């Protein structure tokens, strides 16, 4: 079961980039030919994820949005659709991308009639 910060979701689209690479700043000066390079350390780039979860009511979905928003600035564990677990992932930002009503839900986590779509910006804090 996919989850973000221990909260179950139906699915997570996208993946957390856990590969660390050297960050590079290119330095140039007006009137000087060529360029300089400054390395600033190894890290992974931020990743964009999309999640969907189901809820019994629109009010229940709004409550979960608050739960997700409270994760901003914290380290969480993310388990994707394939069961891959990423720990110590920083939630930089999350935003609701939509809610829609489903007349006859089949499956899901709760079997609820409201689907909640969220967008996440996350970054791993340790290399795999």
User: Residue 86: which residues within 8 A CB-CB, separation 6 or more?
Assistant: 16, 18, 77, 78, 79, 80, 124, 128
In a domain, 53, yes or no: yes
In a domain, 40, yes or no: no
In a domain, 56, yes or no: yes
In a domain, 101, yes or no: yes
In a domain, 96, yes or no: yes
Measuring CA to CA, which residue among 3, 110, 16, 87 is closest to residue 51? Answer: 3
What's the predicted TM-score (pTM) here?
A: 0.83
Lowest-pLDDT range of 34-38, 110-114, 123-127? 110-114
If you search the block for the tokens 């009511």, which residue do you land on?
A: 57
Domain that holds residue 67: 3-17+46-124
In whole angstroms, give the CA distance from residue 4 to residue 60: 17
In a domain, 55, yes or no: yes
In a domain, 54, yes or no: yes
Query: What's the pLDDT tens digit per position in 18-45?
Result: 888 888 999 999 999 999 999 988 989 9
In a domain, 113, yes or no: yes
Query: What's the pLDDT tens digit per position in 44-88?
Result: 999 999 999 999 899 999 999 999 999 999 999 999 999 999 999
Distance of CA 85 to the CA centre of its chain: 13
Domain count for the chain, please give it. 1
């Amino acid at each position: 079961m996919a989850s973000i910060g221990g909260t179950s979701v139906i699915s997570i689209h996208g993946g957390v980039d856990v590969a660390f690479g050297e960050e590079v700043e290119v330095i140039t000066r007006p009137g000087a030919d060529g360029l300089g390079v400054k390395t600033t350390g190894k890290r992974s780039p931020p990743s964009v994820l999309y999640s969907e979860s189901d809820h019994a009511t629109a009010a229940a979905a709004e409550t979960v949005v608050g739960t997700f928003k409270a994760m901003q600035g914290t380290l969480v564990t993310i388990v994707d659709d394939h069961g891959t677990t990423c720990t110590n992932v920083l939630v930089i930002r999350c935003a609701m991308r939509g809610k829609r009503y489903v007349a006859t839900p089949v499956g899901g986590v709760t079997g609820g009639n409201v689907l909640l779509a969220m967008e996440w910006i996350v970054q791993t804090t340790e290399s795999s």
